[in-house]
Amino acid sequence: MSQPAYKRILLKLSGEALMGDDAYGINRDVVAGIVRDVIDVTQIGVEVGVVIGGGNIFRGMAGAATGMDRATADYMGMLATVMNAMALADAFRAAGVNARVQSALRIDQVVEPYIRGKAIRYLEEGRVVVFGAGTGNPFFTTDTAAALRGAEIGADIVLKATKVDGIYTADPKKDPSATRFQRISFDEAIARNLAVMDATAFALCRDQRLPINVFSLFKAGALKRVVMGEDEGTLVYC
């Protein structure tokens, strides 16, 4: 069997990716599908770290957050990501995979704090590590957390799972003639003003020479095809 193109990956999941067709919350069937896809790549020797957003839970509190201080709202969002991380880790354990949650905010009674050395050791031991609470700071997105954690743990690539199977020349929902980029450089993506990640995350990946692949979470076998180096999603390279 051919070897994977990447030994260690950082998978970025939005909170909304866990919702399925639900208005908010966690869809168990969707989570089970994500777990199966990750298991498929761990079985070929790929080490997996996951950064997860909290929009699916925070969406249910959107009305209450209206007019709230931005920093307070961001901290609430971080707590939502911890809830998602715990749910995802529990789903891994139910499937027989050893998973650990590390939080950028200290909630020692619930999950362990983020410690870079321990995270790397867990990955080397074959455990899936789910990183919660973003960067632990307000005003930074979970995209930035994914770029930061990816660089810290020595990931070979950041994989951004979305509902679209790559980066297109235009919005494919609005423009049927839009075409998918198979590969695009960081410089060209900037020149074309393509929204790959938020600006801070994108700049960090570029500066650390950490490639990004944007792919669809909902295409069967897509994650495995990405880590095998096949033409799946869009690769943003240095």
Q: Binding site residues, as ranges?
A: 12-15, 54-55, 59, 74, 135-142, 162, 168, 171
Q: Binding site residues for ATP, as ranges?
A: 12-15, 55, 59, 162, 168, 171
What is the tens place of the pLDDT at every residue in 203-219?
999 999 999 999 998 89
What topology does CATH give the domain 8-237? Carbamate kinase (3.40.1160)
Q: Binding site residues for UMP, as ranges?
A: 54, 74, 135-142
What is the tens place of the pLDDT at every residue in 103-148?
999 999 999 999 999 999 999 999 999 999 999 999 999 999 999 9
User: 199-207 and 142-152 are packed helices; what angle lies between their axes, rounded to 10 degrees?
Assistant: 20
For residues 214 and 233, give the distance between their C-alpha atoms in angstroms, rounded to a whole number. 5
What is the tens place of the pLDDT at every residue in 176-203?
889 999 999 999 999 998 888 999 999 9
Token reading at 133: 């609470």
What is the tens place of the pLDDT at every residue in 83-107?
999 999 999 999 999 999 999 999 9
pTM for this entry: 0.93
Is residue 64 scored above 70 in pLDDT?
no
CA quadruple 65, 70, 73, 77: dihedral, nearest 10: 130
CA 30 and chain centroid, separation: 15
For residues 209 and 205, give the distance between their C-alpha atoms in angstroms, rounded to a whole number. 6
